[in-house]
C-alpha cells in the first residue's frame, strides 16, 4: 500500500511543467473567438434577425419562434465553419454541476446523403431525459419530462475538447408544468423583478433610466494538488476533501505563500486555462497565490450578472479540464484540508442602469448622492430583514466547515460600510426629523450628502473579515463558498433588494400623497430604515469570539449548520417574498428545500462511508502491522536478554496504538449505527439534522485518533499522502 504513496510522491517530484498551449498572440486577437457574440451574429444573421435578437436580449424577452429558425441557421453555419460537429443545451440542474447532452448536427437527407442540420426548434428547446436530475418530487407528481429553453441573454459558445468541438447553448431547465428545475431560471426571474423595482426608484432621480441590471465580479479561490497524490487519496477523489491528515510542520504560519512568486508548473497551468477562458469570452484579469500553501485565486472583470454566473461555471469546468493536462487536480472544495485556510468565492455585486450609472457609486451632486444613499440604505435594510435567507443561500455541507472557522466569516450575517459612511448614516439619523423639517435643516443635510464622494475617495477602510462588505462602489458578499453556483446567493440577494425597493417606493409614494416634498419623503423613509436595520452594521473583527457574543446580544442569528440554515427558505416570510416577486411558488421552493436537504444528507453519508472504509481498510491494518513490528522488536530484545526498561518505549507505543485502534473501531461502529438510525427517518429535514448532529460528530472523533496514528506509525508504512506532501507543489 505504502509504496503506492511513494510512487505518487515520486511522480509529483519528477514532473516537468507541461508547455502551455497558449496561442502566442495578443489576447485582443483571440478574445471571444469561440463565442457567438454580437459581432459574430452580425456577420452570420440577416439584419432584421440580428436586430430582434439584440432587442430580445436587451429587454429580457424570449425570442420569437419564427426568428429562432433563422438564428439557428446562422449559428449552425458559424459552428460548422469553426469545426463544431455537435451541439448541446448547456444548463444548470440542481445537482450543482452544469449538464450537457450532445447531439450531432449530422442528419440523413431523404436521398440518404449526410447533411448538417440544426432547426429553430432544436435551438429554442430540447427535452433532455431529465428523470435523473433532482426535482424534489415535482416531476414525479406532474409530468415526467423537463425541457431546456434558450436564454438569449447568455451567448452560445464553442467548447473545445480533445479531438472535437461542441456548440453550447446556455438554457434554463423547467418542468413541463412550468416549475423551474435549475439555478438559472430563478436568477433570471429575480433580475426581472429587480429591474422593475429599481427602475421605479430611479425614476425619482432620473427619468432616462429604463433598465437596471446587476453586475457581478467573482473572485475564485482554489487549491491545486498533483494528480497522482490526489489519486492516492480515496477521500479526496470521492469527497473532494481530506477526511484525515495531521497538520504539516510548516503550514501557513509563515505567511510566505501569499502573493509570493507562482511556481512554474502552476504558472503554465494558469496561462493555459486563461487563454482557453479568453477564447470563450471570459474576461479573466487577475491571478495570484492565496494565503494557504498551494492555494490560488483568479478573478475576471465584472460583467452583467447572468453572464458572470455562466462564466464562473464555465471557468470551473475549464480549469478542471486544463488541470488534467498539467497533471494537477483543482480543488474547489471549501475546506480540502483541516487546519489550513478554506476557499471562498467573493461575489462583488452592484447595480447598473441603461445609462451606464453604477448605482452604488456616489455621484457629483446631492441629487445623485441621494440616489446612491437610497440604494445603499435599501440594500442594508434588505440584508437586515432577510439575513437568515441570505445565510441559507450559501449553506452547504462543505461551506459549514469554512464559515466560522478562523479564517472565514462566521455564519452571522453583518455588513461593513466603513467609518465614513457610518458617519453619514448617523448624521441622517440625527438630522432628518420625523416631523416637518425646517428649510435650514434641509439645506444642511443636503450639503452633507453632497460631500459623500470626497469622503469615499479617501475611504481606505478595508475590513477583510466581514461577510458582506461595502468596498467603495460595490458590495462584496464573501461568505459564498468556492464550489458554489453563485446563482443561488445572487438570486436571493437580487430578490431581497428588489422586494425592499418595491416597499420603499410604496412608502415614499404614500408620503408624497401627503404633500411632503420628494427629497424629504425619501430621507424620512431612509432614516426609518437606518434606525430599524443598523443592528446589522459591524465594523470590527468578524472572526473574533467577542463578535459572536455581541451579535447574540443584538439578536442576530448565528446558524452554524446547513440543515437548520435551510429552514429560512421555507419560512412564511421567505415564501411570501418569493411569491410576491414572482420567483418561486410555494411548491417550487418546498421542492427545492427538500433537494437541498437531500444533497446535504448524501454528502455527509458519503463522507461517513469513506471515513469508515479508510479507517477499516487502510489505517487500522497499517497500524496493526507496525504494532506487530514493534512487538517483534520487543520479543527479540527480550530474547537476547535486554532489560525491560530498554524497551519500555516500544511497549508504550504498542499500547498507544492499541488504544487508538480500538477508539477508531468503537467510533466507526457507533457511526454506522447512527447512520442506520438516520436512514430510517422519513422527513428529509429530520434526516439531515440527524446526519448533522448524530453522524457527523464521529468524523472528528475518528480523525483525532487516525491523525495520532499518523504521527506514531513508521512513515514508510503510512498509506495516504501526508499534508506536507499534498500542499507542496514542485
Ligand atoms: P479584492 O481582492 O480587493 O477584493 P479584486 O480586484 O481581486 O479585489 O476583485 C474585485 C472584483 O470586483 C473584480 O472582479 C472586479 O471586476 C469586481 N468589480 C469592480 N467593480 C464592480 C462593480 N461595479 N460591480 C461588480 N463587480 C465589480
Ligand atoms: Mg475580494
- Categorise residue 253: left if φ over 0, alpha if ψ from -120 to 50, beta otherwise: alpha
Q: Domain 31-181 class?
A: alpha beta
- Average per-residue pLDDT in the chain? 91
Q: How far is the CA of 474 from the centre of ligand 1 (A)?
A: 8
Residue 434 has pLDDT above 80, yes or no: no
pLDDT for position 327:
96
pLDDT for position 2:
63
Q: Which of 474, 479, 486 to mutate to test the pocket of ligand 1 (most atoms within 8 A of CB)?
A: 474
Q: Atom 1, ligand 1: which residue's CA is nearest?
A: 219
In this structure, the dihedral spanned by the alpha carbons of residues 332, 337, 340 and 345, taken in order and rounded to 10 degrees, is: 20
Among 440-449, 628-637, 688-697, the minimum mean pLDDT is found in 440-449
User: Which band of pLDDT confidence, cut at 50, 70 and 90, is reported for residue 411?
Assistant: very high
Q: Read off the C-alpha cell for 24.
A: 502566442
Among 101-110, 549-558, 676-685, the minimum mean pLDDT is found in 101-110
- For ligand 1, residues with CB inside 6 Å are 215-217, 219, 286, 299-302, 346, 348-350, 358, 473-474
Q: Where are the domains of the chain?
A: 31-181, 192-584, 598-726
In this structure, the dihedral spanned by the alpha carbons of residues 627, 632, 633 and 638, taken in order and rounded to 10 degrees, is: 130
Q: Read off the C-alpha cell for 727.
A: 500542499
Query: What value does the mean pLDDT take over residues 252-273?
Result: 76
Q: Atom 17, ligand 1: which residue's CA is nearest?
A: 217
For residue 203, report the phi and psi dihedrals to the nearest 5 degrees. Answer: -60, -25
pLDDT for position 683:
95
Q: Of ligand 1's atoms, which has the minimum distance to the CA of residue 360?
A: 23
Residue 143 has pLDDT above 50, yes or no: no
Q: Domain 192-584 class?
A: alpha beta
How far is it, in rounded angstroms, from Cα 136 to Cα 61? 28
In the 8-state DSSP scheme, what is residue 10? H
In the 8-state DSSP scheme, what is residue 37? -
Query: What value does the mean pLDDT take over residues 571-587?
Result: 96
The protein residues having their C-beta less than 5 angstroms from ligand 2 (an ion) are 219, 346
Q: How far is the CA of 514 from the centre of ligand 2 (A)?
A: 44
* Alpha helices, DSSP H, located in 432-513: 439-450, 452-457, 487-513
More confident: 723 or 289: 723
User: Which band of pLDDT confidence, cut at 50, 70 and 90, is reported for residue 137?
Assistant: low
The CATH architecture to which 598-726 belongs is: Up-down Bundle (1.20)
Q: How far is the CA of 647 from the centre of ligand 2 (A)?
A: 56
pLDDT for position 142:
42
pLDDT digits (tens, 9 = 90+) for 11-55: 998 888 887 666 778 999 999 999 999 999 999 999 999 999 998
Query: What value does the mean pLDDT take over residues 193-204?
Result: 98
Q: Of ligand 1's atoms, which has the minimum distance to the CA of residue 218?
A: 14
The vertex-181 CA angle with 329 and 692, nearest 5°, equals 60
Amino acid at each position: 500500500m505504502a509504496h503506492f504513496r511513494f510512487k505518487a510522491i515520486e511522480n509529483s517530484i519528477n514532473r516537468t511543467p507541461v508547455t502551455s498551449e497558449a496561442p502566442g498572440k495578443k489576447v485582443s486577437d483571440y478574445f471571444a473567438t469561440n463565442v457567438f457574440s454580437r459581432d459574430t451574429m452580425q456577420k452570420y444573421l440577416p439584419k432584421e434577425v440580428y436586430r430582434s435578437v439584440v432587442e430580445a436580449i436587451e429587454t429580457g424577452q424570449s425570442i420569437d419562434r419564427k426568428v429562432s429558425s433563422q438564428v439557428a441557421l446562422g449559428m449552425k453555419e458559424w459552428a460548422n465553419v469553426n469545426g463544431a460537429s455537435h451541439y448541446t443545451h448547456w444548463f444548470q440542474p440542481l445537482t450543482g454541476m452544469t449538464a450537457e447532452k450532445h447531439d450531432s448536427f449530422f442528419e440523413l437527407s431523404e436521398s440518404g446523403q449526410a447533411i448538417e442540420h440544426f432547426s429553430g426548434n432544436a435551438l429554442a428547446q430540447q427535452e433532455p431525459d431529465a428523470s435523473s436530475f433532482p426535482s424534489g418530487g415535482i416531476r414525479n407528481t406532474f409530468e415526467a419530462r423537463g425541457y431546456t429553453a434558450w436564454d438569449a441573454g447568455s451567448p452560445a459558445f464553442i467548447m473545445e475538447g480533445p479531438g472535437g468541438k461542441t456548440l453550447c447553448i446556455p438554457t434554463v431547465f423547467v418542468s413541463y408544468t412550468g416549475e423551474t428545475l435549475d439555478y438559472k431560471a430563478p436568477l433570471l426571474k429575480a433580475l426581472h423583478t429587480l429591474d422593475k423595482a429599481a427602475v421605479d426608484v430611479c425614476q425619482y432621480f432620473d427619468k432616462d433610466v429604463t433598465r437596471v441590471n446587476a453586475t457581478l465580479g467573482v473572485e475564485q479561490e482554489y487549491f491545486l494538488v498533483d494528480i497522482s497524490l490526489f489519486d492516492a487519496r480515496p477521500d479526496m477523489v470521492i469527497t473532494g476533501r481530506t477526511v484525515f491528515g495531521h497538520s504539516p510542520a510548516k503550514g501557513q504560519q509563515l505567511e510566505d505563500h501569499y502573493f509570493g512568486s507562482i511556481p512554474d508548473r502552476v504558472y503554465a497551468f494558469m496561462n493555459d486555462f486563461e487563454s482557453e477562458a479568453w477564447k470563450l469570452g471570459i474576461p479573466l484579469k487577475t491571478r495570484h497565490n492565496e494565503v494557504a500553501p498551494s492555494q490560488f485565486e483568479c478573478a475576471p472583470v465584472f460583467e452583467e450578472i447572468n453572464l458572470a454566473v455562466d462564466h464562473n461555471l464555465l471557468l470551473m469546468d475549464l480549469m478542471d479540464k486544463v488541470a488534467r493536462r498539467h497533471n494537477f487536480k483543482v480543488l474547489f472544495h471549501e475546506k480540502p484540508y483541516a487546519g489550513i485556510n478554506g476557499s471562498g468565492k467573493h461575489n462583488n455585486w452592484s447595480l447598473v442602469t441603461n445609462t451606464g450609472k453604477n448605482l452604488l457609486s456616489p455621484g457629483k451632486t446631492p441629487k445623485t448622492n441621494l440616489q446612491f444613499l437610497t440604494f445603499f440604505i435599501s440594500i442594508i435594510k434588505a440584508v437586515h430583514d432577510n439575513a437568515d435567507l441570505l445565510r441559507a443561500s450559501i449553506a452547504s455541507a462543505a461551506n459549514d466547515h469554512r464559515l466560522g472557522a478562523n479564517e472565514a466569516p462566521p455564519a452571522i450575517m453583518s455588513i461593513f460600510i466603513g467609518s465614513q459612511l457610518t458617519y453619514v448614516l448617523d448624521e441622517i439619523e440625527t438630522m432628518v426629523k420625523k416631523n416637518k423639517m425646517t428649510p435650514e435643516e434641509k439645506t444642511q443635510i443636503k450639503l452633507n450628502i453632497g460631500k459623500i464622494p470626497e469622503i469615499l475617495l479617501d475611504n481606505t477602510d478595508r475590513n477583510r473579515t466581514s461577510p458582506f462588505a461595502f468596498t467603495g462602489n460595490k458590495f462584496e458578499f464573501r461568505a459564498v463558498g468556492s464550489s458554489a453556483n453563485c446563482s443561488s446567493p445572487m438570486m436571493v440577494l437580487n430578490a431581497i433588494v428588489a422586494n425592499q425597493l418595491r416597499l420603499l417606493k410604496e412608502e415614499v409614494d404614500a408620503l408624497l400623497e401627503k404633500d411632503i416634498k420628494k427629497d424629504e419623503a425619501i430621507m424620512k423613509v431612509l432614516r426609518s430604515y437606518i434606525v430599524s436595520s443598523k443592528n446589522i452594521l459591524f465594523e470590527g473583527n468578524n472572526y473574533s469570539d467577542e463578535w459572536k457574543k455581541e451579535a447574540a446580544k443584538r439578536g442576530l442569528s448565528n446558524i452554524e449548520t446547513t440543515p437548520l440554515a435551510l429552514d429560512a427558505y421555507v419560512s412564511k416570510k421567505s415564501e411570501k417574498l418569493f411569491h410576491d416577486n414572482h420567483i418561486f411558488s410555494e411548491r417550487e421552493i418546498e421542492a427545492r428545500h427538500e433537494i437541498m436537504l437531500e444533497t446535504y444528507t448524501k454528502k455527509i453519508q458519503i463522507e461517513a462511508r469513506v471515513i469508515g472504509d479508510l479507517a477499516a481498510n487502510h489505517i487500522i491494518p497499517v497500524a496493526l502491522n507496525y504494532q506487530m513490528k514493534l512487538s517483534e522488536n520487543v520479543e527479540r530484545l527480550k530474547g537476547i536478554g535486554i532489560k525491560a526498561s530498554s524497551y519500555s518505549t516500544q511497549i508504550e507505543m504498542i499500547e498507544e496504538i492499541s488504544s487508538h485502534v480500538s477508539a477508531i473501531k468503537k467510533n466507526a461502529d457507533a457511526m454506522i449505527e447512527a447512520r442506520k438510525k438516520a436512514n430510517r427517518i422519513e422527513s428529509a429535514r429530520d434526516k439531515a439534522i440527524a446526519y448533522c448532529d448524530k453522524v457527523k460528530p464521529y468524523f472528528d472523533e475518528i480523525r483525532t485518533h487516525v491523525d495520532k496514528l499518523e504521527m506514531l506509525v513508521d512513515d514508510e508504512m503510512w498509506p495516504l499522502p501526508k499534508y506536507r506532501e499534498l500542499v507542496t507543489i514542485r
